[in-house]
Structure 1
Amino acid sequence: MNQLICKNFEEFKTHVGKPLPTGEWITVTQEMINAFAETTQDFQWVHVDVERAKKESPFKKTIAHGFLSISLLSKMLMDLVVVESAVMGVNYGLNKVRFPHPVPVDSRLRLHSSLQHIEPYAENGIKITWDCAVEIEGIEKPACVAEFISLLFEG
């Protein structure tokens, strides 16, 4: 796996404006979609009713919730970036979120991202703005594009 590994925040900050390694593929299964539906209580048939989706959906199969694709950003970024001095990370928010293309069940997704901005936060933290695009294998439009904001703290 390609990873950006930095010893500390100072080294990490030198990567602002640069693309990160491309993420590994993650397959979105029906089990993941069903678990997300259970957690969010969003049981719209286009997500969970396989037989109805085959007959009535323009995609001819179920599709993942848009918010499922965005919820994978934390994992995808953690897989790509390691700051060895960090002891904790926290999601802070999102800007400019869009879902340009639905994610059909059994699609493979991977992250393309870069560090847009890093600023100090509290005594021992930084606030990071990431540019993120979630690619769907074989589909031109991304599943999700967003500015993802997180906090990282050193011990």
Structure 2
Amino acid sequence: MVIINNFEEYKTYEGSQLGVSNWHKIDQEQINRFADATLDHQWIHVDQERAASEGPFKTTIAHGYLTLSLIPHLWKQIADIRNVKMEINYGIENLRFGQPVLVDNEVQLQAKVKSITNLRGIVKATIEATLVIKEQTKPAYVGDVVFLYHFH
């Protein structure tokens, strides 16, 4: 894990691969809980029998937004940004889903610091986030996650 204490330290990582998270298994229970939370009960996610018989993947798949919602959890395994009064998830830019995450797949976040900018005391960090699926060549997605940090 990388520890970053201020803008100057963050800036030294610009253009560099920052690290990778641990592997995280997405099981059917997590998919079902996400479906309940978001009211998205599309059969391709929650109906294991129908997905097996009619679905193109022969099993259920994780919601794309479920895989995105893992970014904060997995990001905290890569970087410990310290001395922060407030951190804001500002946005995601240029996101493309590459392939679905099947139930029981394991995923890992890879993070590259694309840019760090000091906007009059607020630090804007753009992180290229790639969600890798174990034993797959194509990622689940690639996109630029933008964080705003208010350092002490």
If the TM-score is normalised by the length of the shorter chain, which range does it land in? over 0.9
Q: Residue 134 of structure 1 aligns to which amino acid in structure 2?
A: L
- Aligned residues of 2:108 and 2:132 also touching (Cα < 8 A): yes
Q: Residue 69 of structure 2 aligns to which amino acid in structure 1?
A: S
1:13 corresponds in structure 2 to: 11
Question: Which of 36, 45, 48 matches 1:47?
Answer: 45
Q: How does 1:130-141 map to 2 (within 5 A)?
A: 130-141=127-138
Distance 1:143 1:132 in 2: 11
Question: Which of 68, 76, 79 matches 2:77?
Answer: 79
1:142 and 2:136 correspond:
no
Aligned residues with identical type, % of pairs:
38
Q: Report how far residue 122 of structure 1 moved.
A: 5.2
- Aligned residues of 1:9 and 1:83 also touching (Cα < 8 A): no
**CA-based RMSD:** 1.2
Distance 2:68 2:119 in 1: 24
Q: Report how far residue 137 of structure 1 moved.
A: 0.4
Q: Report how far residue 83 of structure 1 moved.
A: 2.0
Q: Residue 138 of structure 2 aligns to which amino acid in structure 1?
A: K
2:106 corresponds in structure 1 to: 108
Q: Report how far residue 130 of structure 1 moved.
A: 0.5
CA offsets 1:66-116 (integer angstroms, 9 cap, x no match) = 111111112211221112212321110111111111000010000111110
1:129 and 2:137 correspond:
no
Q: Residue 126 of structure 2 aligns to which amino acid in structure 1?
A: T
Task: Please identify runs of 4+ aligned residues in structure 1 that moved more than 3 A.
Answer: none
Q: Residue 79 of structure 1 aligns to which amino acid in structure 2?
A: Q
Distance 2:29 2:139 in 1: 22
- Aligned residues of 2:7 and 2:118 also touching (Cα < 8 A): no
Answer with 4-13 or 94-103: which moved more: 4-13
Mark the runs of 5 or more structure 1 residues left unpaired by the alignment: none
1:25 corresponds in structure 2 to: 23
Distance 2:93 2:36 in 1: 26
Q: Residue 64 of structure 1 aligns to which amino acid in structure 2?
A: A
Q: Residue 139 of structure 1 aligns to which amino acid in structure 2?
A: Q
Q: Residue 142 of structure 1 aligns to which amino acid in structure 2?
A: P
Equivalent pairs counted in the alignment come to: 152
Q: Report how far residue 8 of structure 1 moved.
A: 2.0
